[in-house]
Amino acid sequence: MSGAPTISHTRARARHAELAEIIRAHDYAYYVLARPTIADREYDRLYEELVALERSFPDLATPDSPSQRVGGAPLTQFATVRHLVPMLSLDNTYSTEDVCEFVNRVQKLLPETRLEWVVEPKVDGVAVSLRYEKGMFAVGATRGDGVIGDDITANLKTIRGVPLRIPAVQSQSSVAHDLSREPRKVKVISSPSVLEVRGEVYLTRSGFERLNSERAEAGEEPFANPRNAAAGSLKQLDPRVVAGRPLDIVLYGVARVEEGRAPESQTELLDWLQELGFKVSNPRWTCKTLDELFAAIAALDGARRDFAFETDGAVIKLNSFTQRERCGATAKAPRWAMAYKYAAEQAQTRLRAISIQVGRTGALTPVAELEPVFLAGSTISRATLHNEEELRRKDIRVGDAVTIEKAGEVIPAVVGVLREKRTGSETPFDFPRACPECSTKVSRESIVGEVGVVWRCPNPDCPARVRGRIEHWCSRGAMDIEGGGEVLAAQLVKSGLVRDVADLYGLKVEEVAALERMGEKSARNFLDGLATSKQRDLWRLIFGLGILHVGSGVAKALARRHATLDEVAAATRDQLTETEDVGPVIAESVFAWFNDPASRGLIERLRGAGLNFRSSLYAPSAAKGAFSGKTFVLTGTLPHMTREEATAQIEAHGGRVASSVSKKTDFVLAGSDPGSKLDKARRLGVAIIDEAEFLRLARL
Ligand code: IVH
């Protein structure tokens, strides 16, 4: 192995433990308390040091190490998990009378008892359950049907607000001051042998915006709202994809506490969970009377637009757990809680027309052209109609009176048609089967792991796509060429001067100056910008090429791993998959792009124009052992390798071999005549691979 260890195992272990503790403390300060105690760069440095130690001493990469948040191979499907206690839902209402009735009903169930209520924001995300065994995060699951959910442990581990072990942290006060490398005395909070807690995974508004703009950059369909984005993310089979999604979590419930002091009320629970290292429901109100309850609901409504997450309601729950038990539950929902939902802001207007936008990747998006209407702080004249399916499902016709809705970060959307207002003159929209720009027959494509179906114009020379590509190439996030906006891109394409990005570098001042609304001066500025752009870093060029699924993040990752554009172009699918953030779908897209003769031609012309193909981000040291931190178990006879040879290969790539299968096993390498280890692996949902797959992973 390269990079021979320079310190002893004992010292490495001590330093590793120290680093892990410091990183956990900073994670807690950042994710739970929202009070960062360290600069990002310093944090990254500590993290790098930890990972470097684990490279030299792979046994230090225990499952609770901060490095183990993203690990494991993509799954083919999720295993299932039975919840220790069913995950119920909540009764919902939009009416204040229902709230009064609910409170009276509970008071009748508990006569002569003083009731105390807790009001919390209803976080608009995805319900999850987290189980800790002996203090270690063991299983994380979706709600599923309430009794059995999907095992999404690997995905949940990528969320840094999910402690990998509890108690996870030093006490609050020592975190706040601790920027030294010396961990202070740790306040130990004993952890129960089994703890199952419940909460909501969500995307912050800013995380949602960031994710959607990255998706737009990469030519992918945006998510309609943060909840869909969170749900879609948790359903991904590849944890590396999940790690790139800005997910967060908040806890608000407990299902089981074994061998530990269990809290007796909601307020106690939330404080306790926070001490254990979880982020909890916040803000919250405790109320004794109906008046106080409605005041809290109103206060929450007043404050919720400033929250980092979307809130569509207030959850009202009894504070005392004994009182809750006395109330019980129906098959669907507890009797001691209720959700009061705030009405979304809606408006009515008329759908004047439906237009079709053709994006850079050829995707056709239907857009509602509306009679302008004022809603939630702004005038709205356009709203997305997402895709053809959505149009059909809602039976939206041109001329219809429609209801539009805008809640928080949600893109304004047409939520329904006022059928009673139809006059008969409305016309159903025929989704075009040919591109409105170039008349090429469009093709249907469903995207793995995404909702809906996209029609795409497959013609790479479609003027709309060419315009989009030129504009994207010049954009600030890509080659950053001053003046190369939407208008100029359209003119350059329309005049026939430019058919692809390489043509930009052959433009002459007179040609550009002759375009409408362009003078000599702006033409010169644009050409100067083009000249400067030849020296831009490789990642900008890769991003600028506009390859499907390649946003700036992926472009940077590719440029960290490859020294030149030619190296990226020569990479196999498997080599591409080894890049951080690159799963099989992205790898296929990149591979297909670089192996298309038209792309090869474009690259040669860019080379001829003198563009820089070298990456300043290239960091070969960032390459990791293919099996770093991974545990293998061998079973059966392999076709070409002995056990010893397989073991040597695993260890040479930073992995280790264990003798029996457990939840900590990452892979079972199985040959012919496997033993009971294989059955156990199947039961535990451990990845099972054969020799061919193993060799592929090891890149041999
Ligand atoms: S308590 C027995 N508290 O809303 C269920 N739920 O519509 C007790 N939710 O499935 C749930 N924020 O996913 C509770 N502060 C909060 C919540 C919350 C969001 C979700 C939860 C639940 C759904 C019911």
Residue at token pair 């046994």 = 59
231 lines ligand 1 (CB under 6 A): no
315 lines ligand 1 (CB under 6 A): yes
Which atom, in ligand 1's list, is nearest to the CA of 329?
A: 2
pLDDT of residue 620: 67
Which atom, in ligand 1's list, is nearest to the CA of 127?
A: 13
200 lines ligand 1 (CB under 6 A): yes
Q: How far apart are CA 18 and CA 50, in angstroms?
A: 9
Residue 629 in this model has a pLDDT that exceeds 80: no
Distances (CA, A) of 687 to 183, 242, 382, 567: 37, 18, 47, 31
Considering all CA atoms of the chain, what is the largest pairwise distance in Å, rounded to the nearest integer?
90
Candidates 108, 122, 421, 664; catalytic one: 122
653 lines ligand 1 (CB under 6 A): no
Residue 52 in this model has a pLDDT that exceeds 80: yes
Which atom, in ligand 1's list, is nearest to the CA of 126?
A: 13
User: For residue 215, how far is its CA from the centre of ligand 1 (angstroms)?
Assistant: 29
Predicted confidence (pLDDT) per residue in 423-449, tens digit: 999 999 999 999 999 999 999 876 554
DSSP state for residue 574 in the 8-state scheme = H
Q: Lowest mean pLDDT: which of 95-104, 314-323, 520-529, 551-560?
A: 551-560
Distances (CA, A) of 234 to 151, 246, 684: 10, 11, 20
Of 411, 410, 391, the residue nearest 351 (C-alpha): 391
Residue at token pair 């001691």 = 336
Q: Is residue 15 within 8 Å of 168, Cβ to Cβ? A: no
User: For residue 393, how far is its CA from the centre of ligand 1 (angstroms)?
Assistant: 29
375 lines ligand 1 (CB under 6 A): no
Q: How far apart are CA 303 and CA 316, in angstroms?
A: 17
Active site residue 122: yes
Q: Is residue 50 within 8 Å of 65, Cβ to Cβ? A: yes
Q: Which amino acid is at 213?
A: S
Q: Is residue 346 within 8 Å of 318, Cβ to Cβ? A: no
Stated as kind and residue range, the H or E segment containing 648 is: helix 643-652
Q: Give the closest residue (by CA) to ligand 1 atom 18.
A: 122
Which atom, in ligand 1's list, is nearest to the CA of 92?
A: 7
Q: Nearest 5 degrees, angle CA 446-CA 448-CA 454?
A: 25
Residue 537 in this model has a pLDDT that exceeds 50: yes
118, 119, 122, 304: residue to mutate for ligand 1 pocket, most atoms within 8 A of CB: 122
pLDDT bucket at 366, cuts 50 / 70 / 90: very high
Q: Give the closest residue (by CA) to ligand 1 atom 7.
A: 90
Q: How far apart are CA 15 and CA 50, in angstroms?
A: 8
Q: Which of 458-462, 518-522, 592-596, 654-658 has the highest mean pLDDT?
A: 592-596
Predicted confidence (pLDDT) per residue in 466-483, tens digit: 999 999 999 988 999 988
Q: What are the backbone angles phi and psi of residue 403, rounded to the nearest 5°?
A: -100, 130
Which atom, in ligand 1's list, is nearest to the CA of 339?
A: 7
Of 448, 550, 454, the residue nearest 238 (C-alpha): 448
pLDDT bucket at 644, cuts 50 / 70 / 90: confident
518 lines ligand 1 (CB under 6 A): no
Whole-prediction pTM value? Answer: 0.64
pLDDT of residue 178: 37
User: For residue 89, how far is its CA from the centre of ligand 1 (angstroms)?
Assistant: 7
Task: State how beta strands 667-670 and 687-689 pair.
Answer: parallel
Which residues lie closer than 8 Å to 626 by C-beta, 6 or more apart? 578, 653, 654, 655, 697, 698, 699
Q: How far apart are CA 563 and CA 569, in angstroms?
A: 11
pLDDT of residue 578: 85
Q: How far apart are CA 200 and CA 234, in angstroms?
A: 12
128, 280, 315, 318: residue to mutate for ligand 1 pocket, most atoms within 8 A of CB: 315
Q: Give the mean model confidence (pLDDT) for residues 381-401.
A: 90
Which atom, in ligand 1's list, is nearest to the CA of 143?
A: 10
Which structure tokens are listed for 88?
A: 């119920």
pLDDT bucket at 2, cuts 50 / 70 / 90: very low
pLDDT bucket at 171, cuts 50 / 70 / 90: very low
311 lines ligand 1 (CB under 6 A): no
Q: How far apart are CA 386 and CA 365, in angstroms?
A: 6
Q: Is residue 145 within 8 Å of 81, Cβ to Cβ? A: no
Q: Give the mean model confidence (pLDDT) for residues 599-617.
A: 95
Q: How far apart are CA 404 and CA 410, in angstroms?
A: 11
Q: Nearest 5 degrees, angle CA 469-CA 470-CA 476?
A: 100
89 lines ligand 1 (CB under 6 A): yes
Q: Which amino acid is at 323?
A: Q
Which structure tokens are listed for 554?
A: 């992926």
123 lines ligand 1 (CB under 6 A): yes
Q: Give the closest residue (by CA) to ligand 1 atom 21.
A: 127
Which residues lie closer than 8 Å to 358 by C-beta, 6 or more apart? 364, 435, 436, 437, 457, 462, 464, 465, 468
User: For residue 315, how far is its CA from the centre of ligand 1 (angstroms)?
Assistant: 7
Q: Give the closest residue (by CA) to ligand 1 atom 9.
A: 122
**Prior bond to 167 cis, omega within 30?**
yes
Rounded to the nearest integer, the mean pLDDT of the chain is 88
Which structure tokens are listed for 555?
A: 């472009």
DSSP H helical segments within 131-288, as ranges?
Answer: 153-157, 172-177, 205-217, 226-234, 239-243, 266-276
Exposed, middle or buried: residue 17 (CB in 10 Å: 0-12, 13-18, 19+)? Answer: middle
pLDDT of residue 546: 93
User: For residue 122, how far is its CA from the centre of ligand 1 (angstroms)?
Assistant: 6
Q: Give the closest residue (by CA) to ligand 1 atom 6.
A: 122
Q: Is residue 447 within 8 Å of 454, Cβ to Cβ? A: yes
